[in-house]
Amino acid sequence: MPTRPLGRAGVLIALATVSLASFAFATTAGARTPNPKPMVVLVHGAFADSSGWSGVIDRLRRDGYPVRAAPNPLLGLQSDGATVRGFLDSIKGPKILVGHSYGGAVITQAARGDPDVKALVYVAAFALDSNELLSDLANRPVAHPLPPLPTLPVQSKQPDGTTQTDIYLDPSHFRARFAGDLPRRVAADLAATQRPLSAAAFASKLTVEPAWKTIPSWYLVAKQDQAIAPDLERFMARRIHAHTSQINGSHAVYISHPKAVADLAEQAARATATDGART
């Protein structure tokens, strides 16, 4: 059947349709696609494991943030820092790095020189300076010091014949010193399942320039902390020029107040978002 020639009106309509389609394509192609939200990487500390982050993970996911918990062997700062750095290198794109307690010392070591780590978030955590021993920082004089943690050393023979000493927090004091704002049963479970810190870690020294000197930092002070003196936490937060928040929480603040921890991580993500990032 022969095709009927288009009239003048038909030609104009066809041209308009082509022009609109071309404009829509050009507009879509030229628009900047927003970047995804940064990955939040969580690093636990001593006498704990990654399961304690579950409440924080739930809230971050609810707000659209991808999240991973990094392995922390608790063997010593250099070894643990290398493990976490390898984990970070396996994740492409921007990251927000969160550390609790001893995990703060680990992220200070691990994030050095990593351009993809956009912010450091310290949660009642150690923030070491160059060549500073963990034990020296823990024992730094403050206005309101805490008594030493009641710990239990456990020794084991290694395959090479050497002896390794692991340090546990005394379960009978666990709730009072670590998790005072958690239910007794929850604190008892945490005490029973705690992972020890190698005694060698107490003698760990930061061997690189601290990551907080080049990466923006946030700090959550737990005002009821009985494991790290709140005054020491405030000192560390001031020293690293962190954006600081305070909350009435125990050392286990990441478990008892997961929303506050997630909110601080998201605040860090928004503040350090690159142009076009969607946070």
**C-alpha to C-alpha distance for 55 and 28, rounded to whole angstroms:** 39
User: CA 271, 272, 275, 279 torsion: positive or negative?
Assistant: negative
- β-bridge partners, 221: 246
Contact 47, 178 (CB under 8 A): yes
pLDDT at residue 26 is higher than 80: no
Supply the pLDDT for residue 8. Answer: 47
**C-alpha to C-alpha distance for 133 and 47, rounded to whole angstroms:** 19
**C-alpha to C-alpha distance for 163 and 161, rounded to whole angstroms:** 7
Q: Of 18-32, 125-139, 237-251, which range is least confident? A: 18-32
Q: What is the pLDDT of residues 184-231, one digit of tens each?
A: 999 999 999 999 999 999 888 898 999 999 999 999 999 999 999 999
pLDDT category of residue 34 using cuts at 50, 70 and 90 = low
- As a CATH number, domain 39-271 is 3.40.50.1820
pLDDT at residue 29 is higher than 80: no
Q: What is the mean pLDDT of residues 133-151?
A: 95
pLDDT at residue 30 is higher than 50: no
**C-alpha to C-alpha distance for 193 and 55, rounded to whole angstroms:** 18
Q: What is the pLDDT of residues 78-118, one digit of tens each?
A: 999 999 999 999 999 999 999 999 999 999 999 999 999 99
| Helix segments in 158-198, DSSP class H | 174-178, 184-193
Nearest to 194, CA basis, from 76, 45, 49, 77: 49
**C-alpha to C-alpha distance for 222 and 249, rounded to whole angstroms:** 5
Q: What is the mean pLDDT of residues 108-137?
A: 96
Residue 148's identity, in one-letter code, is P
pLDDT at residue 276 is higher than 60: no
For the sheet containing 163-169, what is the strand order?
A: 151-157, 163-169, 197-198
Q: Within 10 Å of residue 73's Cβ, how many Cβ atoms?
A: 14
Residue 248's identity, in one-letter code, is N
Q: What is the pLDDT of residues 40-79, one digit of tens each?
A: 999 999 999 999 999 999 999 999 999 999 999 999 999 9
DSSP label at 252? T
Supply the pLDDT for residue 203. Answer: 84
Q: What is the pLDDT of residues 243-265, one digit of tens each?
A: 999 999 999 999 999 999 999 99
DSSP label at 14? H
Supply the pLDDT for residue 160. Answer: 87
